[in-house]
Amino acid sequence: MATGKDSLLLLIPSTVIETLLVIASHLSSERPVTIFLYAFSINFVILAIWNVFIYPFFVNPLRHLPTVHGHLIGAKVFMRHPRGQITVDWLRSIPNDGLIHFREALNFSFLIATNHRALMDVLNTNSYDFVKPPGARAFLARGLGYGLILSEGDAHRAQRKAVTPAFTMRNIRAMYPLMWTKTQLFLKQLEKEIRLHPEPGTPSGGPVGCLEISGWANRLTLDIIGPAAIGRDFQSLENENDPVSQNYTAILKPSVELLVLFGASLLFPQWIVRNIPCKANFTLPRKVNYLRRVFHEILVEKRELLAREKSDQEPAEGDILGTMMRGGEFSDSELVDQMLTILAAGHETTAGALTWCCYHLSKEPHIQEKLREEIRATIPSADAPVTWQDLEGMPYLNGVIQEVLRLYPTVPMSGREAIRDTTVAGKKVPKGTTIVLCPQSVNRSYEFWGETADDFLPERWIDTDKEGKQVPNKHGGASTNFAQITFLHGPRACIGKDFAKAEFRCAVAGLFGQFHLELEDPTQKITFGGTLTTQPIEGMHLKLTKLEDWVA
């Protein structure tokens, strides 16, 4: 009767056994180094065969999930713009129970979370079972540092706890006067710009002109987040050559090189990615080092101010940096990382939202006109003061910004990698699996939004109270908060989402109250691009007409 070992040998073809015996007899006369190289090569081949051809199709517990098949599926999901757009149709056409499975070129598995239960498990219930994919995290940290966005585990919990007090609704609402003052300056600068570059055929210096709006949007939001976050007004609205603004623009501007480096970071270690011979690998460290030097100088000044505050018993200005420094949880290097992160996230995303708002409302002027009517009925003129009640109480304004955030998420896709075996939507998910979170598709899901998912309908965010008055709502008619994941949810939700909405309200109210907007070239095709955020590669070139009758 054959033993267990003999039974195992019976399963191996005799030709394979003979080949192994020949290799063994040959190796017996070789040097140790040669034997090591042979063993390493054989193990590498066996491991590759297992990982690429056997495990994905015969062992992986995810193989039974609804799966998208095709060539270079992963590349299409992660590299085609706008990122995540290909998955919109998957959510609508592939029956699933919360997870859709696809494989990339080497057959590594990815999952897309599609319904309330799956999104809640990843973002809330089991959120600390997941981290940002290490390769993407390492690449993004080159520009943003390991601040709140890129920290994980206990470090993230501590940082979030330290920063949260600065983002209470009370503190944000106290910042509306700053936001509105900067918006008023923004409008004056836009008027100067269009008078310098009037539309052909209009009188020189007339109230109609053309400009690229995304750059101006970035300068506005940087001038808001600067004083609010670190107590520094960069005055980039008045100085287009402001070096902080220019360096941030260079870091975050869409480029093929940055996208290639980002993609390479998903496959290779950073020491390899950093040595790829391309311009971005030389300019990125230089730009980031400049910003780090500036923020370190601000840090030194802030420390001196806090020392005077302690001696004088008078509080210094209540910006986010001061709040973090008083807590004492961060080293100087960590504080600089936080400044890099907060300033980038605090101005880039809102500027992107404003840019896409201008784009959409230029294409649908009837929405623009209805919005302007509400703005002017609430705010008597661009020079008038406003309160948070004015801006948060305008139903149509809030409906417009919610639809922009839903249909044009500035971060259209992000990923989470399981750091331990876990469960999502009742399915076992092995350690190392990457789950794709895709606002671009979830925010347009028929399951959440019905047949009007692709339609820009501010009215869905408006209710009528018992007295027949229209009031804003926060759900858009969807049955769950997870129907819109632009800011994510749970412990890793964007901590500055209410701040972003506040400055977005101010900017939209001022811009559309003062100007009528059109696309400079209505036939121009807008190309969605960007590495982390979605930006128009060609810029957003608009024709602005100042409307003279908005007066007190």
C-alpha 139/C-alpha 267 separation (Å) is 11
Furthest C-alpha separation in the chain? 104
Q: Going by C-beta distance under 8 Å and a sequence separation of 6 or more, which residues neighbour residue 548? A: 207
Is the peptide bond prior to 82 cis by the omega test (within 30 degrees of 0)?
yes
Q: Which two tokens stand for residue 228?
A: 């609010």
DSSP for residue 81: S
Residue that is written with structure tokens 């121009």 in the block: 524
Helix axes 134-144, 332-363, angle to 10 degrees: 100
List, in order, residues 6 or more apart from 366 with CB less than 8 Å away.
none
Which element (helix H / strand E) includes 492?
Answer: none
DSSP string, 139-171: HHHHHH-SSTTT--HHHHHHHHHHHGGGG-HHH
Cβ burial of 401 (10 Å; 0-12, 13-18, 19+) is buried
Task: Return the half-sphere exposure (C-beta side, CA atoms, 13 A cut-off) of residue 282.
Answer: 3
CB 199 within 8 A of CB 516: no
**Eight-class DSSP state of 411:** S
Annotated ligand binding at 358? The verdict is no
Residues flagged as binding site for heme: 494
Known binding-site residues equal: 494
